[in-house]
Structure 1
């Protein structure tokens, strides 16, 4: 700049300029008060670039952890969409995935199981609540699992394995 000769010539101290508190500890044959100020500005710029890079790295890592790639072979949900909604509400109610919002959980599960769910989950939930048995799919799923376990026990007792 046009003031470089004033700020950066060694040995020409203008004591009326703002001085750093350690100015008198510097070697005037080696540096000037403005050298430190410029170095501080450049260091802060470099630190800012570094920190922004680290933040971007952390954010992209978080995104990669949140959105796991689905496997090449994707099973397709064979039961009704309402049945899948029962399962989603079960997983959400039990807190199986922590504090993931219900809509995000539903979106991920519908994508994972190749099913297009109506994202108006609360409407489906209201319909489920007014049924005589609000959770028929969950009841049948539990029965099927218990039956499988009993069959396994029976087969193991008879020397067969599943």
Structure 2
């Protein structure tokens, strides 16, 4: 039964993982130890899974939607951390660019899998039997090609994709903290900008504008960091945009219609002004 693997493996997994996290301070050494540990855990899980028969479809869905993806997600996360740290440049500015490049890749992943991520985030379940059970027949158009090379007893069409979603959420938070730490030394102090202006529109509107300006490369010939630009706007307009503007940008991208809503409003307003002045 599923409770057996929970008691014998998953609880031990969390305990051992915490022990490794508390034992090693070096980031690379810690990541290596955790990767070895998780791969060993997955080997045991694989052996168990090959001979296990789930009593109900609900049990199978629970395993492939809640249990396995959360273990695999940690493996993906720490492999990504190891890769990022091992290839980290020495120069601080290049380090920020290095981290931002990874965030851009994660954003592409989100765009590619937007509908599935919405399905997960909305706690939907109507496709669970299709996504998280090992049926012999599935819709060929919905299957990921990589499933062809995997043992059908060990995976479903979407359990690894869900693990990636979980892992990349953790990775974005980790990278944002790293970027914040790098930018602290060049952060703007309150005395550097004197303004009585206050931003009175929505915060998400300002974030939309900041991303547009950043992508247009209008500051420092495109070399300015998005965090630095954000700090300037926060100080200039006396507003706190919070620590996670990347997550806000993901919300903008996930809009079903009118993704650049604020920019469209600005354009329409300015065009109306020009039109009225001509008459």
The TM-score normalised by the length of structure 1 is 0.51
Matches within 5 A, 1:23-38: none
Runs of at least 4 residues off by over 2 Å? 66-71
Report the number of matched residues: 89
1:153 maps to 2:275: no
Deviation for aligned residue 1:69: 3.4
Aligned equivalents of 1:135, 1:141: Cα separation in 2: 10
CA contact (8 A) 1:103 1:119 kept: no
Unaligned regions of 5+ residues in structure 2, if any? 1-185
User: Max radius of gyration: which structure?
Assistant: 1
Aligned equivalents of 1:92, 1:144: Cα separation in 2: 22
Deviation for aligned residue 1:78: 1.2
Aligned mate of 1:69, from 192, 196, 200: 192
Matches within 5 A, 1:117-156: 117-131=241-255, 132-154=257-279
Unaligned regions of 5+ residues in structure 1, if any? 1-62, 155-162
Matches within 5 A, 1:71-110: 71=194, 73-98=195-220, 99-110=223-234
Deviation for aligned residue 1:143: 0.3
Deviation for aligned residue 1:121: 1.2
Matches within 5 A, 1:39-50: none
The TM-score normalised by the length of structure 2 is 0.30
Aligned equivalents of 2:208, 2:234: Cα separation in 1: 12
Which structure carries more relative contact order (alpha carbon 8 Å, separation 6+)?
2
